[in-house]
Chain A
Amino acid sequence: MFYAKFFAKRFVAIVITLAAVIAISYIMMYCSPGGFMNTTQLASSLAPLAAQDPAAYQKLMEQFQLRYGLNLPLWHQVLLYEWHTFTLNFGNSMQNPTLSIMSQLKTALPISVILAFSSVVLSVVVGIPMGIIAAIKRNTWVDYLVTTLSMFGQAIPSFVLAVIFVLLFGVEWQNVLPVTGWGTVPEAVLPVVSLAAGNIGVVARYMRGSLIETMRQDFIRTAKAKGVKYWPLVLKHGVKNSLTALITVIGPQFAFSVVGAVWVENIFAIPGLGKVISTAFTNFDFPLAITAVFILGATIMLTNLAVDVIYAVMDPRVKLQ
């Protein structure tokens, strides 16, 4: 009962947020120089069709007019668009009218989610041990090395790293790892690593600070007074308490990785949602762009919800509300 209320509240919040995102995006694009249906842009991308079959082109344009209610008042258009989106009736892409938006997203979304998710997993798997080692070897060269590496990872954006990887593995060390494409594990290595580098830095630094702080707590002294040996002390008492705090940064990390995925997919030519978004925006294909942002937003918010639930499970003091 209690959990039902919690989830209901969160879902309502997510729906409201998404509705607002859609409304804001729609209104902005409506106000953009070419309008929501950027006719000049469409005309150029659909020029072959217009030349080939003017009647079909004309019919297509009318379909769009009708679907988005472009002759209705703005508020009506927005509501219409919200209705379409929330009923998952995304319609067709403008730039490529034979393709439904749904079919494009169906293949693209899993790619981006897997990319972002594996980068978070990698950053946790690598970052946590790095942070632990830095914390217990505090103020030694090991600590300085880890801290400096983390700073590098954190400061250098994924796209810079990605471009450097493309150069190194595309030119210098050819045939070691592929620098384009998606679908096999080797193809995933470079994108995931360039995306994870920043997260590793954040996780390692956070873990270090959090563990150092935890090891100063009174209950650590209690455990020592019980005669608990060093490693159980660090792992069972120290790390376990630090981990609960670390959970809270995983949500932002995932959101951060989603943005990074947009960049990295462009550089490694990965047909993910990020690539779809950037092509949609550069070609003024607004229905596709808004839908892609909607889907990514929903994914991010659902992930945050999951993180909150995990947090409550891991830390008995936290109550879901």
Chain B
Amino acid sequence: MAEALLAIDDLRVQFDRGEDEVFAVNGVSFSIAEGEALGIVGESGSGKSVTLMSALGLIRENGKIMAGTAKFQGHDLLKMRPRQLEDIRGRDIGVIFQDPMTSLNPVMRIGDQIMESMLTHQYAGRREAFERTLQLLHEMGIPEPKARFRNYPHEFSGGMRQRIMIAIALACEPQLLIADEPTTALDVTVQMQILALLQEQRRKKQMSIAMITHDFGVATNFCDRIIVLYAGQIMEMADTRQFLLQPAHPYTMGLKNSIIEIGQRDRQLSPIPGMAPTLTEPPKSCSFASRCPFATERCRSELPALREISPNHHVACHRAEEVLAHAI
């Protein structure tokens, strides 16, 4: 395994909702290697976005990081002062958000929005930044970059806006790109184009990508390795091939069975009856037990630890071996 670019260890995040606390991330540990594409899969509310956004200091004010470390190139992001974190955001780590309709500043020319990150980090001078912006727009497949530079976000389609988002994220050539549901808000054909574009950029620039998605299909197509999150905990972590061949967690099995074809927009990820829980106290037993067809008394009373059942294949399930056997 290559050297870890970002290593998150035992991360715990809580949100204060006034009357109660929500335990959004409950002891998540994983790492992203250099050049690796990691998929983080889960339903909405599973803590998949919060995990990475909290490391970057991008969660709402009512969110608190209770414990853990997030080492980026050996430095703990969680211990950094806001100033230091600002230097890393946008320069070393780029982020793409889900909704390109609302994620761009409506009263700022798109060219200026792309240039802003380069100028902020003194990555390039004004002249250079302008040239590079045109280059980026060209690379992102936006026709007539020079004319489009001066346009505002509302003058672009959703897919085009997402390309602009990617240009913003890639402006300073980050080592890590966090893509938070980058295709969810887009039409199916556009989804494919955006994923292809991301894949191409990743190859060219040798960067790592963390792909946060609720679409298991997107993750299996795009990523080298996948993490499945549920109720703020890792359920299973393995290479994509392993996931497709031998899912060892009942939840993952459900996910896998729900794939029909990549990028079907209307299909929500709810392979198993029931809803994902919102934890208002720390988990003491398996959070998935109430929806699990294999659940036993032990699952309802004892929290399963994440264990390595075969090399590089980690599962948090008391009955992983039986599930594996059952699947085969």
Contacts and interface: CB of A to CB of B under 8 A. Distances in A.
Interface residues of B, number: 30
Contact of A218 (B91, B103, B117, B169): B103
Interface stretch (A30-38, A119-127, A275-283, A311-319): A311-319
Contacts of A232: 120
A225 B154 contact: no
B126 to A, nearest CB: 16
Given A222-B165, A226-B117, A316 B89 contact: no
B86 A223 contact: no
Contacts of A222: 95, 97, 103-105, 165, 168
Given A226-B168, A227-B86, A219 B103 contact: yes
Interface string B77-112: 000001000111111001101010011111110000
A230 B57 CA distance: 13
Contact of A227 (B91, B99, B107, B152): B91
Contacts of B58: 221, 224-225
**What is the predominant secondary structure among interface residues of chain A facing chain B?**
helix
A240 B116 CA distance: 15
B116 A226 contact: yes
Contacts of A316: 106-107, 152, 154
A225 B120 contact: no
A223 B154 contact: no
A240 B58 CA distance: 21
A315 B117 contact: no
A217 B102 CA distance: 7
B97 A218 contact: yes
A225 B107 contact: no
A226 B107 contact: no
Contacts of A315: 106-107
B121 interface: yes
Contacts of A236: 108
A233 to B, nearest CB: 9
Sorted from nearest, which 4 A-B pairs have the closest CB atoms? A227-B90, A225-B95, A226-B117, A226-B90
Interface of A: 217-219, 221-230, 232, 236-237, 240-241, 244, 314-317
22 contacts: A217-B102, A218-B97, A218-B103, A219-B102, A219-B104, A219-B105, A221-B103, A222-B95, A222-B165, A225-B56, A225-B90, A225-B95, A226-B90, A226-B116, A226-B168, A227-B88, A227-B90, A228-B120, A244-B107, A315-B107, A316-B106, A316-B107
Given A218-B103, A226-B90, 4 more contacts: A221-B103, A226-B168, A227-B87, A227-B89
Interface of B: 56-58, 82, 86-91, 94-95, 97, 99, 102-108, 116-117, 120-121, 152, 154, 165, 168-169
